[in-house]
Structure 1
Amino acid sequence: MGLLSEGSPLSWEETKNLADHVRKHGIIQFINLYKRLRDRQGDILKWGDEVEYMLVKFDDEAKTAKLSLRAAEILKTLNEKEYNDPDNIKSLWRPEYGAYMLEGTPGKPYGGLLVHFNVVEANMKYRRQEASKLLEPNEVLMSLTNFPRTGAHDFTDPPTHPTRNSESSKSLFFPDEAIYPGHPRFKTLTRNIRQRRGEKVAINIPIYKDKNVRSPFKEDFGPLIENESSCAAKEDHIYMDAMGFGMGCCCLQLTFQACNIEEARTLYDQLTPLCPIMLALTAASPFYRGYISDVDCRWNVISCSVDCRTQEERGLKPLNENKFRISKSRYDSIDSYLSEQGEKYNDVPLTYDDEVYKQLTDNGIDKLLAQHIAHLFIRDTVSLFSEKVHQNDLEDTDHFENIQSTNWQTMRFKPPPPNSSIGWRVEFRPCEVQITDFENAAIVCFIVLLTRVILSYKLNLLIPISKVDKNMARAQRRNAVIAETFWFRRDITSDVKKQDDGQPECTEFTVNEIINGKDGVFPGLIPLVNSYLASMDVDADTHCTVQAYMKLIQKRASGELLTTAAWLRKEVVSHPEYKNDSVITQRINYDLLKKVQKIVSNEISCPELLGTCISSKTNETIPAAVAKAEKVPM
């Protein structure tokens, strides 16, 4: 989730009074870091995935499935291996927002060898097994993007009750006990985002209007409701009022190390148009607060859940106390490209601090990177620790990371940490987590292979930022992977627009056409990946594994296989207890998640979701001969 500083959190008033201090020193820290590391060259490709999990407790007698709030306890044990032997571990574990959430990553990053693709799934399986050994009977580790009944009545184990007068969220539905208790950052962020905004966050997601859903749909919260929530809740929408509804979702993220800053900027730009495509392809979260929604993805839910903009910044009141109108939440899609190639596609007006921009350019930072940083720094810090207020700007970067790490965007451009062997990196953030390790490994390997294809073939995927924004909105709609079209570049193999065909640079394609190609019109991303692989020396096991992954991606894109969201919907609406009212009861939720777990544990097959061939040749280590030849650790 970002920077986890240790220390004593300041109150919102104290944090607010230090906002300019953090911005001022954060910019100085970035300038110093940039001057030291802008010419850094020769870093090799390294990459890794982050998978977030939920702890679910089943009661087979009562037929219920609830979120288990034991993450802190389990994490303490999981971290012992890292503490005792940090150089010889297969996995790393970190806290996430929910008291029911864990984040797992490989113990070491993967490298540039193709054979590393054959290790990804095995490592994911290892992580799942490692954490599962610490669970109680009937407790299960699940990679669900969203728990269907988060915020509904009786959704946690042990039972909790939301308290409207709580210190952090003041939610009608989400109890503070469901926020991770082992680090003060999470409750501090929750409180400060609410207090900075001047009111609770307001999340309204359209409900799926099945035949027995009353019209207009408007919930009666009875004595729970207060005026603020009454005004915020919209008709025909599922209303949520806390950060936990968004940041309590799980996702799948990847980070790549580039060879230098220019390659990092290129990857940042070229992967940006892929963000909405991969969001649609990985759609996995159609349920919120015990209801079926009319969207398939979490993105806008999280965006609203951390939207700390005041009414002035949202354009609801004239600017008085605040400096800027800000068009988006701090969790949203990116607003500008960073490479020279991308500059002409920056067609959305960018709000940034002119003084910060001038300070950056005066210190030798080019205008594209300067405006990106100055845009990030229109935000206030929303979490500050007393021990971190005063820093050495020549060596520390905590003030920079404080702002950088709380701009949660589809892509993140990451400078090297101070005094580290780590290089310039790019983080790919839109994907929804899938229920099986096979699916998650397939998505990870596909994205990493695309980065190799982009750089090797010098592909140009750039389209105007405004069209990326339109695609992000479309990607979240129900069944978007089949029902929607997306703006995409027609000619991705050359940089110069053809002068003789009279056609625009970008047009609308289906996800199937983007992934699998359209005869005579568009080559397709997977055919390009296969062409790249055909030119490389790939061992038989890795080839088998990668082809199984590519087939899954192809079939999801074509509609031959269902997305996770479509499959989840199908399971709920076909349940014998479902009353066509868009309500997910305790029993429906229990049966659904029991079936998910049986699929994960291979007790049952699910060909409509996974296909018939989901076995790979994945292995926990790379072949000894390859490791020896390349001098990499096994």
Structure 2
Amino acid sequence: MGLLSEGEPLSWEETKKLADHVRKHGIRQFITQYKKLKERKKDVLYWGDEVEYILVKFIQDEKTVRVKLTASDVLRKLQQAENDCPNDHPTTWRPEYAAYMVEGTPGKPYGGLFAHFNLVESNMKLRREEIQKLLGPDEYPLSLTSFPRLGCPSFTDPIEKPSVTEGASHSLFFPDSAILGSHPRFKTLTRNIRHRRGEKVVINVPVYKDKETPSPFVEDFSPLGDDGEAKRAARPDHIYMDCMGFGMGCCCLQVTFQACNISEARSLYDQLTTLCPILLSLSAASPIYRGYLSDIDTRWSIISQSVDDRTKEEKGEVPLKENSFKIDKSRYDSIDSYLSCQGKPYNDIELVYDQELCQEMEDAGVDKQLSQHIAHLFIRDPVSLFSEKIHQNDEEDTDHFENIQSTNWQTMRFKPPPPNSSIGWRVEFRPMEAQLSDFENAAYVVFIVLLTRVILTYRLNFLIPISKVDENMKTAQKRNAVMEEKFYFRKDVVTDISPPEAAECMKNCDRVKCACIADEYTLMTANEIMQGKDDFPGLMPLINKYMNSMEIDVDTRCTMLQYLELISGRASGEFITTATWMRRFVMNHTDYKNDSVVSEKISYDLLTKCKQISLGEACYEMFPCFSTKTADNIPAAVSKSNAYLNQKVAKAVNGINES
């Protein structure tokens, strides 16, 4: 969730008065750390994952499932065990936005050994077990992206009612008690985002139009106490939501990588950016919102809308007067610029940034491209500030920098080393949705980590214009996008600059203006990106080639192949995404009335099945019947891998410099 400073939270009016102070000192803090650490090299390639969990309670006699508002107590006990063994604890726990959520990570980062891939799933299982021990009967931690009936009447345990006139959110559906109360950051964010924009957040998600869904689909919110605001904000044929909790109350799967130096971090940031939409579509797991089937499969736009603090001026609805910038995106969205020299000519979006802050960084020796990136983040106001953190030592502290950095929730995050720490330059991969089972979550983590190793080893180039990545992000959220849509992707990923005439362009162009770059990419399906087509080798053959060139013990190789089989199967359609599986479950339920409504009973049965899958029950529609680190599976897996390699690798290795 980012910076977790504690103290006395300030109101929005108090925070607004100090916004320039935070920005000014945040930039100075960044400059100080940059000067100290820009030459830092040879850090270990550490990495680690973050999985978020929703605590739920199954009420058997009512055939109901509710979110359990006990995260504060559970987290306190989890952290106590961690604090008792600070240097030797296998898990780490942090608070998340909602009072029904916890976030777990490995106690120590994984390193460069292939054997570490064998630890990911077991550590995830341990995290789930540690939570489970602290829960009561019929309570369970689900790695579920979105609770299906979030915001419906009586969705919490204990049952809490929202207040439309008091508290942080003023939501018609989401009570403030469902926001984590043990840390002041979350309610402060909720309140200040609402105050800054001058109204409640507006979330509209297209409803899935089934045979009996009303047309137009329009809800009456007056029984909930709507004074007309919701009626004006809700769009026909859309599911309307009005609180940060609908977005930040979702769960995700994230991976952070430590690079060897700042240059490698910037390169990884760029290369992984192009993969964000692909992995979002492959991990799609959230088709249901506020008790209705939606016409999208992922959480991304919901969170984007839920924390959109832009005023009408900043959105371009009225002329600028009180604000300084017209801003095209929410604080939670895809990135707007690449950071590496290689990525510079692909920055075809006109970047909005604070020119004075940018110049201050350039004058201090920060290169223009990185200065513009930071100055772009700093067009935002701080939305959570604590009285104890106003005055800081810019030579030692970084809270003002992190205040704004960590509330730009984008697909990728470029993370400078913390002060006085052994931690290096890092990048965070943020788009993936949480999967139901530890096997699935581990598979996605291992895949993206393996891919970073392949990128660095073979010096792959996935770059396309940043505007095309934006288009891909919109495509990735569509219903069944992984099977029915195509994504812009680079044709030649193994040649550093292709075609050759682009080299001169990279020297001279700040924008993508020449035809040579337009010829570098084309539309591909997710399966073509994964398996290859024509002269494009495909990501899976490249990964298999890399694995085949390394010394990997048979147990680890088997584990990795099983994970890759899941990802390949999701791309090809052999295995359906969690979102497609959930949609089918609802639509095939005997109580479903073809009206897009996900009732209490349907939700109960769906989440019961989700629980069983997370406990190890096979679901052949969604993932292969594998058991990692099981000797009986090794010969079959290796045999399958060899056949796969014989078919695909020859095409993949052409042009690859294995040095």
Give the TM-score range, shorter chain.
Answer: over 0.9
TM-score scaled by structure 2?
Answer: 0.92
In structure 1, the residue matched to 2:162 is 162
Does residue 506 of the first structure (1) align with residue 489 of the second (2)?
no
- Equivalent in 558, 568, 573 of residue 572 of structure 2: 558
Per the alignment, in what secondary structure is the counterpart of residue 343 of structure 2? helix
Alignment of 1:89-238 (within 5 A): 89-223=89-223, 224-238=225-239
TM-score scaled by structure 1?
Answer: 0.96
* Counterpart amino acid of residue 537 in structure 2: P
* Counterpart amino acid of residue 466 in structure 2: I
In structure 2, the residue matched to 1:265 is 266
Contact 2:558 2:628 in 1 (8 A): no
* Counterpart amino acid of residue 295 in structure 1: I
Does residue 523 of the first structure (1) align with residue 524 of the second (2)?
no
Contact 2:221 2:230 in 1 (8 A): no
In structure 2, the residue matched to 1:625 is none
RMSD across aligned positions (CA): 1.2
Alignment of 1:217-296 (within 5 A): 217-223=217-223, 224-296=225-297
Distance 1:419 1:37 in 2: 10
Distance 2:172 2:59 in 1: 25
Does residue 532 of the first structure (1) align with residue 581 of the second (2)?
no
In structure 2, the residue matched to 1:610 is 623
Structure 1 residue 166, shift from structure 2 partner? 2.2
Structure 1 residue 351, shift from structure 2 partner? 0.2
* Counterpart amino acid of residue 406 in structure 1: T
CA deviation profile, 1:552-609 (whole Å, cap 9, x unmatched): 000000011100000000101000000001001110000000011112213x421011
Distance 1:88 1:617 in 2: 27
In structure 1, the residue matched to 2:42 is 42
Structure 1 residue 499, shift from structure 2 partner? 5.6
Contact 2:49 2:106 in 1 (8 A): yes
Distance 1:410 1:616 in 2: 32
In structure 2, the residue matched to 1:629 is none
Distance 1:203 1:188 in 2: 20
Q: Label 1:455 to 1:283 Cα distance change in 2 as closer, same or farther (>3 A).
A: same
Alignment of 1:329-344 (within 5 A): 329-344=330-345
In structure 2, the residue matched to 1:23 is 23
Per the alignment, in what secondary structure is the counterpart of residue 50 of structure 1? strand
In structure 1, the residue matched to 2:305 is 304
Structure 1 residue 504, shift from structure 2 partner? 1.0
Unaligned regions of 5+ residues in structure 1, if any? 619-634
Distance 1:219 1:44 in 2: 54
* Counterpart amino acid of residue 86 in structure 1: P
How many positions carry a matched residue from both structures?
616
Contact 1:149 1:290 in 2 (8 A): yes
* Counterpart amino acid of residue 482 in structure 1: M
* Counterpart amino acid of residue 570 in structure 1: R
Distance 1:512 1:128 in 2: 32
Structure 1 residue 610, shift from structure 2 partner? 1.3
* Counterpart amino acid of residue 62 in structure 2: A
Per the alignment, in what secondary structure is the counterpart of residue 412 of structure 1? strand
Structure 1 residue 495, shift from structure 2 partner? 1.9
Per the alignment, in what secondary structure is the counterpart of residue 337 of structure 1? coil
Contact 1:548 1:616 in 2 (8 A): no
Distance 1:29 1:564 in 2: 42
Distance 1:615 1:148 in 2: 30
Alignment of 1:379-458 (within 5 A): 379-458=380-459
In structure 2, the residue matched to 1:626 is none
- Equivalent in 589, 596, 604 of residue 582 of structure 1: 596
Structure 1 residue 167, shift from structure 2 partner? 1.8
In structure 1, the residue matched to 2:85 is 85
Q: Label 1:247 to 1:265 Cα distance change in 2 as closer, same or farther (>3 A).
A: same
Does residue 483 of the first structure (1) align with residue 484 of the second (2)?
yes
Following TM superposition, where does structure 1 have runs of at least 4 consecutive aligned residues deviating by more than 3 angstroms? 499-503, 614-618
Per the alignment, in what secondary structure is the counterpart of residue 42 of structure 2? coil
Structure 1 residue 517, shift from structure 2 partner? 1.3
CA deviation profile, 1:48-103 (whole Å, cap 9, x unmatched): 00000000100111100110001001111111122211001000011100100000
Contact 1:542 1:617 in 2 (8 A): no
Structure 1 residue 521, shift from structure 2 partner? 2.6
Unaligned regions of 5+ residues in structure 2, if any? 502-514, 632-659
In structure 2, the residue matched to 1:52 is 52
Structure 1 residue 616, shift from structure 2 partner? 4.0
Distance 1:539 1:166 in 2: 60
